[in-house]
Amino acid sequence: MPYAYEWAVLRVVPRVERCEFVNVGVLVYSRPLDYLEAQITDDLSRARALDPGLDVAAVRQHLLGIADLVSGGVGSGDNGGRPAGERFRWLVAPRSTVVQTSPVHTGLTDDPAAELAELFAQMVAPPHPGTS
């Protein structure tokens, strides 16, 4: 039986006023399966192409913070101890910063880890030559 899940894309918006962004990760959450995971690229070259002056170290630190919060790691502070659903909602709350999320999307799955891998390949990984 498939279970409901929600997902959002992590984006780097180098210059918020220009509204240009590059997808750098995916968050997947399933309440019935108590699943919250993220897959995040470490390649920020496409974001640097939008803004050569991008503070890559700061963006990487922010993305590491997201990964830590998703896993409930000790570096995530008190928020890391919150239930997965609360952490997901906090992460996908709209904000006007360099690292943002897309709107939340929904689906049904028996395997949220497979969905995460497929969404990352579809939404984040650079396209292979000859594909559209």
Confirm whether 91 is domain-assigned.
Answer: yes
Helices (H), ranges, the chain: 45-50, 56-71, 84-92, 112-123
pLDDT, tens digit, for every residue of 35-67?
999 999 999 999 999 999 999 999 999 999 999
**Given a cut of 80, is residue 126 above it in pLDDT?**
yes
Confirm whether 49 is domain-assigned.
Answer: yes
How many domains does the chain divide into? 1
Cross-strand bridge partners of residue 92: none
pLDDT, tens digit, for every residue of 2-12?
999 999 999 99
Contact by Cβ (8 Å): 51, 15:
yes
Q: What is the pLDDT of residue 130?
A: 66
Confirm whether 97 is domain-assigned.
Answer: yes
Contact by Cβ (8 Å): 112, 5:
yes
Q: In terms of residue numbers, what domain contains 70?
A: 3-123
pLDDT, tens digit, for every residue of 61-78?
999 999 999 999 888 888
